[in-house]
A and B are shown apart, each in its own frame.
Chain A
Amino acid sequence: MSAAGTIGKATGKATGKATGKAWVFGDDIDTDVLAPGLYMKGPFEELARHCLEAVDPTFAPGVAPGDIVVGGLNFGIGSSREQAAQALKHLGVGAVVAKSFGGIFFRNALNMGLVALVCADAGRISAADDLAVDPAEGLIVNKTRDERYACEALPPQLLTMVQDGGLVPHLEKKMAQTAQEDAAR
């Protein structure tokens, strides 16, 4: 219901970079724990308060803007409900990095303007490590451990979309450009 208010809300940074504390989760974090079905029909803000509650009740109340969610294999498997990615974005999560993602969640995250990066070394990150994530460089810097992890690069068009703040602001930009070109003709 509140989709228009939160989809693609700009982070103020056109780079998509994020800096924050790591929240580490295991393998197979599914969309039912990210966006519990019980709250799906109600107000989105209420749903977001229950994000990941079944596996870590301290997450939603404790996560700070810019914090990084770190997953294992198959992060976001299950439903196509994009509230799973939207809840993380709404709570201020700066990026999600994981060894692998559920395919629909990965698309949804980028569409929401939430940086999602595949990182084989995600398992080296511990809870509360200080991280800096740069999607354009495809790089995670772990300041706590003084380590650097390479991520799979996002294809250029998807990097542009996530830097624009997601699919909706990206389409807005493209439609405005088209209108300008039409006017100039």
Chain B
Amino acid sequence: MAQTLAEKIIAKAAGRGTVSPGEIVTCRVDLAMMHDSGGPRRVKPVLERLGAKVWDPEKVVVVSDHYVPAVDAESAAILDLTRKWTAANGIGKFHDMQGICHVVLPERGHLRPGLFVVGGDSHSPTGGAFGCYMFGVGATDMAGVLVTGETWIKVPETIRIAIDGDLGDGLSAKDILLHLCARIGMGGGAYQAIQYTGSTVANLSMQERMTLSNMAAELGAQAGLIEGDETTAAYIRKAGGDPGDVSAWRGDDDAAYLATHHVDAAALIPQVAAPHSPANSGPVTDLGGEAIHQAYIGACTGAKLDDLHMAARVMKGRKVADGTRLLIAPASTRTTAAAAADGTLATLTEAGAILLPSGCGACAGYGAGVLAEDEVCISSTARNFKGRMGAKSSRVYLGSPFTVAASAVVGRVADPREFLEGGAP
């Protein structure tokens, strides 16, 4: 029976030859990732109540990224509990304040095609960029995994999103995803598996592929898969991991797909999402113009090294507009180190950007950079729900790092393309 990539990974994890969409199966978990917010502080009481131990500490990764660095007694206590619990439970793969989990996980070589991975965070589909079946769960689900090493899954249908054509200058994976959010909506993924295919995807870097997979969450999908190729294998090797047989983890040509959506990347113009939903997206030429107080480049979605490079191309030799602040929280400490080494950080700070610690930060209103009442922000993050980044009356636009940087220069939601003409990096 012809199988999609999602079906092949789930069948392997379920110890089955094949699986069919709609059936509920129990899977062995290859890797479980959790962070300081939904992790130890929430699973510890459950494990204690059950008198249970972690089934396999080698298969658990813990990342402190939400309450970092501590700003008050409560956040300090959460980070302290996380450190003590990981030590007491023999979790060797503990990354404390090294960056955002979805970026740190592949950076440290923990992912490879074919793995069945659960993550205690809704942006866990990011791991799909590495050909893993990775999906987000809540803390009690995670506790169940830690006790049993297993979880249930309803085998998803696969929705194919075929993206072809060359992206224009000043466009990125983020623009493709915002366009899709408007087109198929936040329920368009129907909690099924999305698989991105096509020539555009094949030509994207791993970090840009991660942005596609990451925002499968905003399309309402359970997972956002991309089949591995030489780009995937090269990234994993560089990260110190073993990619395994990448070619073994591909869907069959004649597998059944629930739907196929086509995107013409060459026809796209930069997209922004107006407040308060990623689905309120459209061309910046239609939705731009509103004055902003803050521009934010951060989060797993929008502050990887490629994202900082995009911002730097716009900011080079320019300044942040008076009355506007540009905050940048690189996605990981390795991102910061690389951006320091190649001059990107200097370009950004000379333009007036303010650097923040690596972590989830203002994206979900946890860290530095939250908004006051009635403030307007444009952000390279994934969600602009009401009140998410701060005060209830604040308003957030979403855009690519190119668009956020251009908006910081103008002081309004702005089209980045005019800042890039002839401006190769």
Contacts and interface: CB of A to CB of B under 8 A. Distances in A.
A82 B38 contact: yes
Contact of A80 (B24, B137, B277): B137
A127 B388 CA distance: 26
Interface residues of B, number: 48
B46 A4 contact: yes
B404 to A, nearest CB: 20
Contact of A32 (B38, B46, B154, B385): B385
Contact of A41 (B45, B67, B220): B67
A41 B78 contact: yes
Nearest to B26: A157
A172 B139 contact: no
Given A3-B42, A37-B364, A172-B50, A78 B138 contact: no
Interface string B74-118: 110010000000000000000000000000000000000000000
A111 B387 contact: no
A77 B45 contact: no
Contacts of A81: 37-38, 138
Contacts of B154: 155
Interface string A71-98: 0011001111110010000000000000
B227 interface: no
Contact of B138 (A1, A100, A104, A168): A104
Given A4-B45, A41-B67, A157 B121 contact: no
A32 B277 CA distance: 12
B186 to A, nearest CB: 6
A8 B385 CA distance: 29
Nearest to B119: A80
A53 B376 CA distance: 21
Contacts of B140: 7-8, 82, 108, 111-112, 166-168
Interface string A130-168: 000000000000000000000000010100000000111
B38 A175 contact: no
Interface stretch (B11-19, B141-149, B320-328): B141-149
Nearest to A30: B385
A61 interface: no
Contacts of B387: 32-33, 36, 54
A54 B78 contact: no
A79 B365 CA distance: 13
A107 B122 CA distance: 12
B364 A32 contact: yes
Contacts of A26: none
A102 interface: yes
A64 interface: no
Contacts of A107: 137-138, 141
B220 A102 contact: yes
B55 interface: no
Interface in A23-79: 28, 30-33, 36-38, 40-42, 54-55, 73-74, 77-79
Contacts of A3: 41-42, 45-46, 139
Interface in B185-221: 186-187, 190-191, 220
A14 interface: no
A128 interface: no
A54 B392 contact: yes
Given A41-B78, A54-B387, A103-B191, A168 B186 contact: no
A interface, size bucket: 35 or more
Contacts of A8: 140
A33 B136 contact: no
B220 A103 contact: yes
A37 B24 contact: no
B152 interface: yes
B399 interface: no
Contact of A157 (B37, B152, B279): B152
A77 B385 CA distance: 10
Contact of A168 (B46, B74, B279, B388): B46
Contacts of B190: 100
A85 to B, nearest CB: 8
A111 to B, nearest CB: 4
Contact of A4 (B48, B122, B220, B392): B48
Contact of A74 (B38, B136, B152, B186): B186
Given A54-B392, A80-B121, A155-B24, 11 more contacts: A28-B186, A30-B386, A36-B387, A37-B365, A73-B187, A77-B187, A82-B38, A82-B42, A104-B122, A108-B138, A168-B143
Interface of B: 24, 37-38, 41-42, 45-46, 48-50, 52, 67, 74-75, 78, 120-122, 124, 136-141, 143-144, 147-148, 152, 154, 186-187, 190-191, 220, 222, 277, 279, 364-366, 383, 385-388, 392
7 contacts: A4-B48, A30-B386, A32-B364, A79-B121, A80-B124, A166-B140, A168-B46
Top 4 closest pairs, chain A to chain B, by CB: A82-B138, A103-B191, A4-B45, A37-B365
